[in-house]
Structure 1
Amino acid sequence: MFESAEIGHAIDDDTYEKQLPALREALLDVQYELKQQSRFPVIILINGIEGAGKGETVKLLNEWMDPRLIEVRTFDKQTDEELARPPAWRYWRQLPAKGRMGVFFGNWYSQMIQGRVHGDFNDAVLDQAIGDAERLEQMLVDEGALIFKFWFHLSKKQMKARLKALQDDPLHSWRLSPLDWKQTDTYDRFVRFGERVLRRTSRDYAPWHVIEGVDPNYRSLVVGNILLEGLQAALKAPIEPVRQPIAPLGESIDGRSLLGSLDLSQRLEKDDYHQQLIEEQARLATLLRHKRMKAHALVAVFEGNDAAGKGGAIRRVAAALDPRQYAIVPVAAPTQDELAQPYLWRFWRHIPARGKFTVFDRSWYGRVLVERVEGFCSETDWMRAYSEINDFEEQLSEAGIIAVKFWLAIDEKTQLERFKAREKIPFKRYKITEDDWRNRDKWGLYRDAVGDMVDRTSTEIAPWTLVAANDKRSARVQVLRTINDAIEAAIKKDKKGEKG
């Protein structure tokens, strides 16, 4: 795989100087066109052998193009803030917006290759990391991102000569570190595992480009031209991509639905409610202070019919806790900044650190609910979202995050009664909008969307809890009890793991 990058590619100075002006002008043109269109972001992943010119090449790109539109990110050793969250969190929060370019040093490939080279994990873990990277890149590309992946290469002999030359250069010797020299000892393992990663992750939507790094003229022109051609092609592509036909999800042939099978007649008397509410609130307060919760975070997702009582249930949960323990994230229509990113970006930003609790009042499930029903995204987008959401929640689970998900369900008659009641109460009128009334006409569509959502995203690691919410008292207690049971299950699993 690296043979052609070890044959001594070179460009003489005269040829380089003749080609450079036109290349720089063309790169600036496509960069400003990228900004003007603002249809997609550009992600540039920098990897390869130490001393192969990675930093020098990116420095040149900043000189050739407008650096105000380029974000260079370096991911070194994980900080305490990053260690307290899923591994992908550090990358998601640094993604460039549409119309901008992001250059990532020390990206997910650097982490997995270095970890395997130094024996931090085995081949099975490396293969899992490779699969995670493929799914992440596929999702980013499906959301419109243009990804360039560069591997700057040197043979072992070339690398040693390059490091020696840098060491003898007083202007550049400061850039060398003991880790650079250490790679001469691990070169063979680094190249072997690097080839494995490149072979497995070079895809049509995000191919690898292997660049020989000996001659600066050659590597600079090659990288510049690859970026230019890729950007020109992407900018000329149709604004609306071609949609492939997809198989329908299918309908219930007997007319029965998941929500239609839910018993909404459950009731809880006032005295029983107050007693059980206090018991579950006390239980929650105690569980969140448990010493083993320092290894976990808690995420609670609240979805449901309009006027189903999500706000009231959230308030009863919050009432049991110190405000410093939790955060409530209300999710409304995305802002312009959020629309400039993949749809999961705005949720990744709010993932809590270990020991913390975040409540999402509506959530990432908007893509397969309101966006699906209202036509705010294509069928391809929301069909794809089921697997993307499952992958997202699996990453949360692997990081020790306990996820509980609630759908609060009421019938049409109860919703109508609550809508009318809200209109009569001055301090509740803000809760009822024209959209709420309009959504009642799409009750059946939302019912079907919820059924599909639960069927495809209720998993062992993040199951859905359907809450019969015609009676608010019963619903609130069920919510608290479900959260408490999930925390207790995680604590017991930890204890069992220690004994095992």
Structure 2
Amino acid sequence: MFESAEIGHQIDKATWKSTVPQLRTDLLDAQYELKEQSRFSVIVLISGQDGAGKGETINLLYEWMDPRFLSTLAFSEPTDEERERPVMWRYWRALPPKGRIGIFAGSWYSNPIHERIAGTIKQAALDARIDQINRFEQMLVNEGALVLKFWLHLTKAGQKRRLKALEKDPRTAWRVTKWNWERLKTYDQLQEVAGHVLRMTNTPWAPWIIVAGEDDRYRSLTVGKIIFDALRARLADGERSSSPVTPPIQPNIDGRDVISELDLTQKLTRKQYETQLAHWQGRLSELVRDPRFKKHSLICVFEGVDAAGKGGTIRRVAAAMDARQYQIVPVAAPTEEERAQPYLWRFWRHVPRTGRVTIFDRSWYGRVLVERIEGFCAEADWLRAYSEINDFEHELAQAGAVIVKFWLQISKEEQLKRFKAREQTDYKRFKITDEDWRNREKWDDYHRAVCDMVDRTSTGTAPWTLIAAEDKAYARVKVLRTLCERLSAALEGKNPAGVGGKGKKGRQ
């Protein structure tokens, strides 16, 4: 894979001087058009061997382009804050918005490669990370991003020559440390591991570009021209690149589904409610204060039919915890800042660190519900969202998060009764809007969308719990009990899907 970069590529001074001015002009023009269109972001990964010119290449791009619309993200060892969240959290936070170019000096590839060389992860774990990376980059491309991945390559002898030359020059000597010379000893290991990673992640949607790094002029012109050509081609192409990532929706043959089979008649008496509410609130309070919870986080997702009682249920859950320990995130239409990023970006921002709780009042499932029904996104977008959501939740669970997802369901008749009651109660009028009435007219469409959502995203690590919410008392206690059972199972190291997962336990 590196053979073509080892044949001694060079550019002479005359060619350099005659080529650079036009290339700089072209890059600036393309960059300004990118900013003006703001249709997509550009993600540039600069990776490779020590001494291959990664820093010089980034500095040159800043010299050749307008730095106001560039951002450079450098990643080293994770901070304590980053270690307490999923591995990809810090990269999600660094993604450039549409209209800008983000240059990653060190990226989601760095740690897996270094860990494998150091022997801290096995081959199977590395391959699992590779699969995660491929799906992440596929999501970026499907969201519209242009992803350019450069690997600046040196032969072993070339790397030694480069380090000596840098060390000899007073202006660059500071770049070479004892650590760089120690790393030279692992050259062969890096070649083996990096070669495997690059082969496995050299995808049609985000291919690797291997550039010989020993000659500065060749390396700089190659990277600059490839960025310009890719940017110009994408600016001229009005269509967004995408690839199918999910099978089609299956038809419902007999009319039975997870919603129609819910028993909405379940109720609690006043006395039962007060007794059980106090019990499960107390139990939840104990669990989130358990020392073992410091290795976990709790993510609660509340979705449901309008007027099903999400707000009241959330208040009962929050009442069991210290306000300093939890955050409630109400989800509405995305802001301009959020629309300039991949869909899941705004939810990654609110991922809790270990020992904390985040409650989502509506969530990332809006893409496969309201955005699907109202036509706010293309069919290809909401279809691929199922697998992207599953990947997102899998990453959260891998990092120790306990994900508990609730769908609160009431009948159409009960919803009408609650709508009218809200209109007639002064302090509840804010809860009923014209949008609620419009959504009611699409009851059947939402019913089908919910069933598809549950079928495609109720996984072993993050199962859906469907709540019969016709009786608010029953629904609140059921939610609290499920939270306690799931959290208790996680603290004891049991399968989180053992409670509230598939089958009858998940449909109550």
TM bracket, shorter-chain basis: over 0.9
Which secondary structure state, in structure 1, belongs to the residue aligned with residue 109 of structure 2? helix
Which amino acid in the other structure matches residue 375 of structure 1?
G
Structure 2 CA distance for partners of 1:211 and 1:302, relative to 1, 3 Å: same
Matching of residue 148 in structure 1 with residue 148 in structure 2: yes
Structure 1: distance between partners of 2:199 and 2:93: 28
Write the mapping of 1:59-138 to structure 2, written as runs, cut at 5 A: 59-138=59-138
Which amino acid in the other structure matches residue 185 of structure 1?
K
1:168 Cα shift?
1.2
1:247 Cα shift?
6.3
After the TM superposition, which segments of 4 or more aligned residues of structure 1 sit over 3 Å from their partners?
239-248
Which amino acid in the other structure matches residue 473 of structure 1?
A
Partner of 1:209 in structure 2?
209
Partner of 2:228 in structure 1?
228
Which amino acid in the other structure matches residue 265 of structure 1?
T
Aligned residues of 2:264 and 2:469 also touching (Cα < 8 A): yes
Structure 2: distance between partners of 1:156 and 1:108: 24
Map Cα deviations across residues 240-294 of structure 1 (whole Å, 9 max, x no partner).
6689899641322212222111000111111110111011000000010111101
Structure 2: distance between partners of 1:335 and 1:292: 37
Structure 2: distance between partners of 1:99 and 1:447: 38
Matching of residue 362 in structure 1 with residue 345 in structure 2: no
Which amino acid in the other structure matches residue 127 of structure 2?
D
Write the mapping of 1:193-272 to structure 2, written as runs, cut at 5 A: 193-239=193-239, 248-272=248-272
Partner of 1:389 in structure 2?
389
Query: Which runs of no fewer than 5 residues in structure 2 stay unpaired?
Result: 497-508
Matching of residue 406 in structure 1 with residue 406 in structure 2: yes
Structure 2: distance between partners of 1:23 and 1:191: 32
Aligned residues of 2:296 and 2:355 also touching (Cα < 8 A): yes
Which amino acid in the other structure matches residue 428 of structure 2?
K
Map Cα deviations across residues 342-380 of structure 1 (whole Å, 9 max, x no partner).
000000110000000000000000011111111111111
Stretch of structure 1 that moved more, 247-256 or 371-380? 247-256
Structure 2 CA distance for partners of 1:358 and 1:243, relative to 1, 3 Å: closer
Write the mapping of 1:152-191 to structure 2, written as runs, cut at 5 A: 152-191=152-191
Structure 2 CA distance for partners of 1:247 and 1:348, relative to 1, 3 Å: closer
1:184 Cα shift?
0.9
Partner of 1:285 in structure 2?
285
Q: How many residues align?
A: 496
Aligned residues of 1:310 and 1:361 also touching (Cα < 8 A): yes
Structure 2: distance between partners of 1:250 and 1:59: 52
Which secondary structure state, in structure 1, belongs to the residue aligned with residue 210 of structure 2? strand
Matching of residue 434 in structure 1 with residue 434 in structure 2: yes
Structure 2: distance between partners of 1:302 and 1:67: 42
Structure 1: distance between partners of 2:247 and 2:51: 50
Structure 1: distance between partners of 2:93 and 2:242: 29
Which secondary structure state, in structure 2, belongs to the residue aligned with residue 347 of structure 1? helix
Structure 1: distance between partners of 2:96 and 2:242: 25
Structure 2 CA distance for partners of 1:440 and 1:494, relative to 1, 3 Å: closer
Aligned residues of 1:301 and 1:406 also touching (Cα < 8 A): yes
Aligned residues of 1:50 and 1:180 also touching (Cα < 8 A): yes
Which amino acid in the other structure matches residue 42 of structure 2?
V
Which secondary structure state, in structure 2, belongs to the residue aligned with residue 279 of structure 1? helix
Which secondary structure state, in structure 2, belongs to the residue aligned with residue 266 of structure 1? coil
Partner of 1:344 in structure 2?
344
Aligned residues of 2:142 and 2:241 also touching (Cα < 8 A): no
Aligned residues of 2:303 and 2:363 also touching (Cα < 8 A): yes
Structure 2 CA distance for partners of 1:243 and 1:196, relative to 1, 3 Å: closer
Which amino acid in the other structure matches residue 203 of structure 1?
T
Which amino acid in the other structure matches residue 165 of structure 1?
A
1:495 Cα shift?
12
Structure 2: distance between partners of 1:154 and 1:19: 24
Query: Which runs of no fewer than 5 residues in structure 1 stay unpaired?
Result: none
Structure 2 CA distance for partners of 1:307 and 1:209, relative to 1, 3 Å: same
Which secondary structure state, in structure 1, belongs to the residue aligned with residue 360 of structure 2? strand
Structure 2 CA distance for partners of 1:355 and 1:243, relative to 1, 3 Å: closer
1:333 Cα shift?
0.3
Structure 2: distance between partners of 1:257 and 1:354: 36
1:427 Cα shift?
1.2
Partner of 1:302 in structure 2?
302
Aligned residues of 1:246 and 1:380 also touching (Cα < 8 A): no
RMSD of aligned alpha carbons:
1.6
Aligned residues of 2:294 and 2:355 also touching (Cα < 8 A): yes
Structure 2: distance between partners of 1:495 and 1:35: 48
Partner of 2:331 in structure 1?
331
Structure 2 CA distance for partners of 1:495 and 1:345, relative to 1, 3 Å: closer
Which amino acid in the other structure matches residue 72 of structure 1?
T
Aligned residues of 1:30 and 1:232 also touching (Cα < 8 A): yes
Structure 1: distance between partners of 2:187 and 2:258: 57
Aligned residues of 1:76 and 1:106 also touching (Cα < 8 A): yes
Aligned residues of 1:317 and 1:480 also touching (Cα < 8 A): yes
Structure 2: distance between partners of 1:495 and 1:232: 50
Structure 1: distance between partners of 2:135 and 2:359: 26
Partner of 1:29 in structure 2?
29
Write the mapping of 1:36-51 to structure 2, written as runs, cut at 5 A: 36-51=36-51
Structure 2: distance between partners of 1:245 and 1:79: 33
Partner of 1:491 in structure 2?
491
Partner of 1:418 in structure 2?
418
Structure 2 CA distance for partners of 1:41 and 1:490, relative to 1, 3 Å: same
Structure 2 CA distance for partners of 1:248 and 1:53, relative to 1, 3 Å: closer
Structure 2: distance between partners of 1:240 and 1:159: 39
Aligned residues of 2:47 and 2:54 also touching (Cα < 8 A): yes
Aligned residues of 1:281 and 1:317 also touching (Cα < 8 A): yes
Structure 2: distance between partners of 1:318 and 1:446: 28
Q: What TM-score comes out, normalization by structure 1 length? A: 0.97
Which amino acid in the other structure matches residue 10 of structure 1?
Q
1:3 Cα shift?
1.4
Map Cα deviations across residues 450-478 of structure 1 (whole Å, 9 max, x no partner).
00100111111101000000100000000
Structure 2: distance between partners of 1:191 and 1:260: 57
Which secondary structure state, in structure 2, belongs to the residue aligned with residue 487 of structure 1? helix
1:178 Cα shift?
2.6
